[in-house]
Amino acid sequence: MRLIRRRREVEAEIAGEAAAAAAVTAPPADPDLEAAAFFDVDNTMMRGASIYHFARGLATRGMFTTSDLFKFAVGQAVFRLRGNENPEHIAVARETALAFVAGAKVDDVVRLGEEIYDEVMADRIWGGTRALAQSHLDAGQRVWLVTATPVELARVIAQRLGLTGALGTVAETRDGIYTGRLVGDLLHGPAKAEAVRALARREGLDLTRCTAYSDSANDLPMLSLVGHAMAINPDTELREHAKQVGWPIKDFRTGRKATLTALPIAAGVGAVAGGVAAGIALRRHYRPHL
């Protein structure tokens, strides 16, 4: 178990460094270069899981069946309940994340991400969370998304929202095509904290002046790394922790929206959710053309 734990720590460090290196940065007009904000995506910035919505967009294009979509939503819920502590589920998560991109062209994933964001995701952005991000931008601070979703899709979301950039799971590419291997591991849990730490070193950020936002206790390593943290639409564990340590809590869910959020449960590992269904779809659609 010690060897497994150490291997996961090393992979988290590698994933964090890779995510920081892949982040797109754009300085604000009147910069406060030492402070920044970091936002989780699934159920924090967006209702539901971004990769689930991406898979739905693929489904509307006839790239896989509703049965595939259902299976992958169930798998996502299982990971939410048990994947955080079970090495076997972590391994499955990694494999399905690889399935998401293996053999696909980077340009195709980016193009589809842009189309599907505009069609499916844009109206699922939480207005309250978006306003919080804008308040940091207005203060001259840079704002990054931090998510297990593949970095290409994360960048699309960040660009559409006018944010600085995104830290996401980095998949290895060769000649513009995904090899089916990850650089490090999924950007999940401790790997998110490693990515933020690596970005802070690169950008000269003072983490005590930075702020992080998330809905999930899986992100406690990231939330605990910065000087200011806020729980957004929190799960039970994060809500209790936030109360204990005095972090502010914002819940933008009301009535039907709260129910909709719970249906495609955000695993904290968006790549898990989209791995099976979206991977099947992309391979079916693009491999004959590679």
pLDDT at residue 173 tops 60:
yes
pLDDT at 209: 98
36-250: CATH, from 1.25.60.10, 3.20.20.70, 3.40.50.300, 3.40.50.1000? 3.40.50.1000
pLDDT at residue 277 tops 50:
no
pLDDT at residue 221 tops 80:
yes
How confident is residue 84, by pLDDT bands cut at 50, 70 and 90? very low
Read off the tokens for 149. Answer: 């979703």
Instruction: For residue 16, give the amino acid letter.
Output: G
Domain residue spans in the chain? 36-250
Give the mean model confidence (pLDDT) for residues 249-275: 53
How confident is residue 89, by pLDDT bands cut at 50, 70 and 90? low
Catalytic residues: 40, 42
Residue with the bigger pLDDT between 149 and 36: it is 36
pLDDT tens for 185-216 read 889 899 999 999 999 999 999 999 999 999 99
- Listed range (79-93, 177-191, 201-215, 236-250) with the worst mean pLDDT: 79-93
How confident is residue 270, by pLDDT bands cut at 50, 70 and 90? very low
pLDDT tens for 93-109 read 556 655 656 788 899 88
Read off the tokens for 180. Answer: 């089916």
- Would you say the pTM of this structure is higher than 0.85? no
Give the mean model confidence (pLDDT) for residues 129-146: 97
- Mean pLDDT of all residues in the chain? 79
- Listed range (131-140, 265-274, 276-285) with the worst mean pLDDT: 265-274
pLDDT at 215: 96
